[in-house]
Structure 1
Amino acid sequence: MISYLWHYLSSNYFRFWLKWVFRQLTGKCELQRICEGTRDGATRTHRIENSLEHSKCKTLQSAINLNEDEVDKYVADIVKEKKIIVEKDKRFKMNLRICLLQISGYKKLYLDAEDLRKQSYDSENNLHEQQLLELWELLMPHEKLLTRITKQWGDIGFQGDDPKTDFRGMGMLGLTNLLYFSRHYTEEARQLLSHSNHPRIGYSYAIVGINLTEMAYSLLKSGALKSHFYNTVPEFPRMKSFHQFYCYLVYEFDKFWFKEEPESIMQFNQYREKFHDQIKHHLSDPNVALTL
C-alpha cells in the first residue's frame, strides 16, 4: 500500500513538473501540444481523454462527462482556464471540440445501448410487435406468418414458437440490431439467412444475431470500441454507429463461420470465442476502422 501510494504521488508530481517545463519551452499547454502534434482520429482523442482525466483542474476533469449542447461552453471554459490565445492557435478550438464530442458521445452511446438492453420485449407493446413482424417480412417476403406464435419463427433462426423468449438476455437491443441490418442491408440479410440454412454447417440466424449483439455490447461497455468510433465518427456517435458496427460483425461472422467449417453447431461457443479474439485484435490497432 505504501509503495503504491509513493508511486502515485511521485508519478503525479513528475507529470506536473514535466508539463510545466514543456509549457515554458513551447508556450503551449498539454492540450494544445496534443492537438498540434497528433493527427486526427483515435490517437489524438485518446491522448486528450487521458490528459483531461489526469488533470487536477475540475473544469478539465468534467469535460469528459458533458452533454452535446454543452461542448462549446466547455471549449470556451478550457480556453479561459488554460489562458490560450486562440489567435495564435486557430485550429485548437475546432480540434478540441471534435475530441470532446467523441469522448462524451461514446459515454452517451453506451448509456443509450444499455437502456435498450434493459428494455424487455413486451408482446403487449404494439411497437415491439410491429418491429418483430417487420423483421419477418423483410427476411421472408414470400411467406406469410400463419399465426403470431408458430414454429415458422424457426425458419429465421429463433429457438421457440415465440421469439420474445430469445430476447431475454439482450432485450430490445437484440431486436433493434436484427431489424437494422434487415432494413439497411436487406439483400445481404437474406443472403446470410440462406447461408445459415446450410444442411451441414448451418447456424441459427436470429440466435447468432442476438449473440453478436451481446458481443458488440460487451465491447462497447469495456471501451474496446473507442478507437473504432474515434476513427470513423467525426463527432458525436449515436445508436446508428453501434448498429453499423453490429452489421459488420454479422457479415464478418458469416464469412468466418464458413471459412472455419465447424463440424457442428455444437461447437458454436468455441468458434464464437475465436471470432471474438480476432475482433479484439483488430480493435487493438489505434488506426482501426471496422466497416462494411
Structure 2
Amino acid sequence: TDLSVFRALSQFLVFVYCSLLWRGLKFILRKVTGRCELQRICYNNKHGARRSLKIGTTPNISDSLLRSALSVDSDRVEKTIDDIMALKKINPDTNPQLGVSLGASLLQIVGYRALLMQVEKLRREAYDCENQEHEEMLLKLWKELRPDTPLSGRISKQWCEIGFQGSDPKTDFRGMGLLGLHNLLYFAEHDKATALQMLSDSLQPKHNELNAAEWEQKSLDKAIGYSFAIVGINMTELTYSLLLSGALKTHLYNVAPELPGLTHFQQTFCHLMQEFQRFWVEEDPSDIMEFNRVRAKFQRRIVRQLQDPDAALCPHFSASDLRLVNL
C-alpha cells in the first residue's frame, strides 16, 4: 500500500513538473516569437491535417467553444474566432490571416463532428421494406448494377448476382443499416464503370478451378471470388470505424478544404472498395474463408497510411470534383 501511494505521488509530481515546464516553455516562446501557441500553429503549418489536428488538441480550443460552433453555422464560427482572439489578446486588425486560417481549421474540426453524427444516424436507421424510399433505393441499386436484366421480383435469388447472401437484401443491411445501401448506390451511380467492372470480376471463378485452356480464354491474371454487395457493406463498416476512431481525420482534413461532408465519406468508401479488391488479388486467398484475415491485414495497412499527417487516400478520386486550396 505504501508503495502504491508512493508511485501515485511520484506520477502526480512528474505530471505537475511537466505541466509547469511546458507552461514555462510556451511563455518563453511567446516572448521570443511574439506569438501565442495558436499563432505559431497557424503560421508554421500548412492548411490541412497538420494544422487542424494540432488546433483540435490545443487547450486554447475548449470544448465549450467548439460546441458553440457545432452547428457549422458561419456566424457561430466567426463568433468562436472572436472569442478565441479576445481570450488570447490577439488584435484581429494586425493579424487578419490568423482569423482566416483558424476559421478554416475550425470548420474542418466541427465539420468532422457533424459528419460523424450524420453517418451514425444513417447507420442506426434500419432498412424498412415498408418504407417506399428505402425500397426505391434498393431497386435503383439493382438497375444500376444489372441494367440489362429485369428483376423477377422484390424477393428473388437474383440478388445473389450482385453479391447479396439471400433472396431478400434487407437482412444483409442489419449491421450498417441504411449507410451500407447509401454507399453501394453512391458507388454504382458516381463511378459506374468501376463498380460494374468490380462486380464482373467478383463473379469470376477461382483460377485453380479452370484448366489451362479455359484460363487463357478468360484472360484473367487472378480470380476475385467474393460477394460484391457483402464486401461493400463490410467496407462501409471499415470506413465507419476509421471515422469513429478519428483515424480518418488526416485524410478528410487534407481533401476537404473546409467542411468534410457525406460526399467525402462516400468517396473514401469507393476508394477503399477498389483498394481492397487490389489487395485481395495480391493476397491470393485460397477461398472466401480467408476473408477476415485479409480484411484485418488490409485495415492495418490503411491505418498505417492514415498515421501520416499528409495522408490523402483518394485526392484525385474520379467521382470527386473537389480540390485542395491553400488558406
Q: Is 1:68 aligned to residue 72 of structure 2?
A: yes
Q: Structure 1: 5+ residue runs without aligned partners?
A: none
Summarize the alignment of residues 1-292 of structure 1 with structure 2, pairs less than 5 Å apart. 1-51=8-58, 54-55=59-60, 60-65=62-67, 66=69, 67-69=71-73, 70-200=76-206, 201-291=224-314, 292=317
SS in 2 for 1:128: helix
State the AA in 2 paired with 1:2: L
Deviation at 1:86, TM superposition (A): 2.4
State the distance in 2 between where 1:103 and 1:7 align.
31
Deviation at 1:104, TM superposition (A): 1.0
Deviation at 1:259, TM superposition (A): 2.4
Identify the range of structure 1 (5-14 vs 28-37) with the bigger mean alpha-carbon deviation. Answer: 5-14
Task: Output one character per residue of 1:166-202: Cα deviation in whole Å (capped at 9) or x when no partner.
Answer: 0000000111110110110111111100010011141
Deviation at 1:280, TM superposition (A): 1.0
Deviation at 1:281, TM superposition (A): 1.3
State the AA in 1 paired with 2:72: E
* Aligned position for 2:321: none
Deviation at 1:90, TM superposition (A): 2.3
Using structure 2 for the length normalisation, give the TM-score.
0.85
Would you say the 8 A contact 1:233–1:241 is kept in 2?
yes
State the distance in 2 between where 1:50 and 1:10 align.
21
Would you say the 8 A contact 1:63–1:100 is kept in 2?
no
Would you say the 8 A contact 1:150–1:161 is kept in 2?
yes
Deviation at 1:81, TM superposition (A): 1.5
Based on CA coordinates, which of the two structures has the bigger radius of gyration? 2
- What is the aligned-residue RMSD (CA, Å)? 1.3
State the distance in 1 between where 2:285 and 2:303 align.
21
State the distance in 2 between where 1:172 and 1:3 align.
51
Deviation at 1:130, TM superposition (A): 0.4
State the distance in 1 between where 2:238 and 2:10 align.
38
Q: Structure 2: 5+ residue runs without aligned partners?
A: 1-7, 207-223, 318-327
Deviation at 1:256, TM superposition (A): 1.5
Residue 64 to residue 14, structure 1, CA distance change in 2 (3 Å): farther
Deviation at 1:231, TM superposition (A): 0.7
Deviation at 1:83, TM superposition (A): 1.3
Task: Output one character per residue of 1:108-156: Cα deviation in whole Å (capped at 9) or x when no partner.
Answer: 1111111111100000000100000000000000001111001000000
Q: Percent identity at matched positions?
A: 47
Stretches of 4+ aligned residues off by more than 3 angstroms: none
SS in 2 for 1:6: helix
Q: Decide which structure has greater helix share.
A: 1
Deviation at 1:254, TM superposition (A): 1.3
Deviation at 1:269, TM superposition (A): 0.7
Deviation at 1:9, TM superposition (A): 2.6
